Amino acid sequence: MNLKLLLLGILFAASWASASAAAKFGLRSVEPLVLFQIRFLAAGIIMLAYSFLIQKDRLPKGKEWRELTIFGVLNVTLYLSFFVLGIKEVAAGIGSLSTATNPLFISILSAFWIGRSVKLGEWMAVLLGLVGVAVATYPLLQQSHATPLGLIYMALSMLSYSIATIYYSNIDWKLSRTAINGWQVFLGGILMLPLTFLLHKAPNNFDLTFILSVLWLIFPVSILAVQLWLYLLKVDAVKASFFLFLCPIFGFIYSYFLLDEPITYHTFLGTALVIVGLYIGQRKKTEKATSE
């Protein structure tokens, strides 16, 4: 692996893992869905503006609107709704650790999607990931840094994201990647509006903390991290996937130094189990790709 790819991979992991901590700061000022509602509508508008003005992309047509809407509901409306409700109930490090297990669930769900039998190694990888999250979460439940309801929300968000990824990979898209991302984020954000108003309870304080949180979630996370990830996938998809291992490590570093959330030996053991699970899962993918 060359130095450029290594540095870009580390920058991706550091940027992507910062989402949970940035969200925690934003939640000090506004309600969860309000924070991400504004983030995704703004990110969608920015990407669509770039798509139309710079790339000269066309508008979606026919069934593309339905495909984009379904993708947006799964990848934004449901995924983010559950995620922001969950991150309010759990430590930021647990949010990053849970997100890192997504590739494991995607491998299992994709097998069922195409009617392929799930290999023993894939089940083992998922089991290690779940055990790792449980171990890391255990002391946080006792110290009120996580709740059972929050963990349920995080599980539902992972499920929705995994289904969205499989759905995306099975569509023969004709639009550019920027247009697809822009439309699915924008449509998903629009469809989140009813839930945002329904769950509205307290006044929101659109202060400097909120502004900085949203700007960070839009640019370093939604734009920079995603573009880096797409670049890494294009260069070498197998090597790119290994940078996901760094995400939970960065997540706990942010939560400890920025949010004063505890790190214990449970944290290290749980994170190690998740990383081993990810390694097993990615090794199986590598072996499959090599055999093909």
Distance CA 66, CA 235 (A): 31
Rounded to the nearest 10 degrees, what angle do helices 265-291 and 92-100 cross at?
20
Interatomic CA distance for residues 252 and 137, integer angstroms: 12
User: How far is 47 from 179, CA to CA, in rounded Å?
Assistant: 7
Can you give the pLDDT at residue 108?
A: 74
Gap between the Cα atoms of 60 and 128, Å rounded: 41
Nearest to 285 by CA among 234, 242, 247, 238: 238
Residue 31: what pLDDT?
A: 87
pLDDT per position in the chain (292 positions), as tens? 578 888 898 899 899 889 888 988 998 999 888 888 888 889 899 989 999 999 999 999 999 999 999 999 998 899 888 887 887 787 766 766 766 666 667 777 777 777 777 777 777 877 887 788 778 777 766 665 677 888 888 888 888 888 887 888 788 889 988 898 899 989 998 998 888 888 777 789 999 999 999 999 989 988 888 778 777 877 776 567 677 777 878 888 888 889 887 778 888 888 888 778 777 766 655 555 445 4
* Contact yes or no for 103/244 (Cβ under 8 A): yes
pLDDT at 290: 47
The Cα diameter of the chain in Å comes to 57
pTM of the model: 0.75
- Three-state DSSP class for residue 148: helix
* CA angle, 112 then 183 then 47, to 5°: 120
Structure tokens at 18: 């910062």
Q: How far is it, in rounded angstroms, from Cα 284 to Cα 3? A: 26
The amino acid occupying position 201 is K
Tokens 């992507």, residue located: 16
Look-up of token digits 């026919």: 62
Q: What is the token pair recorded at 237? A: 């998809």
Cα 199-202-205 angle, rounded to 5 deg: 120
Q: CA-CA distances (angstroms) from residue 3 to 114, 230, 246, 249? A: 37, 18, 16, 21
Residue 15: name the closest of 27, 26, 7 by CA: 7
CB 70 within 8 A of CB 1: no
pLDDT attached to residue 283: 67
Residue in 37, 130, 132, 24 with CA at minimum distance from that of residue 86 = 24
Residue 243 per-residue DSSP state? G
pLDDT at 84: 76
Q: Please say whether the beta carbons of 145 and 267 come within 8 A.
A: no
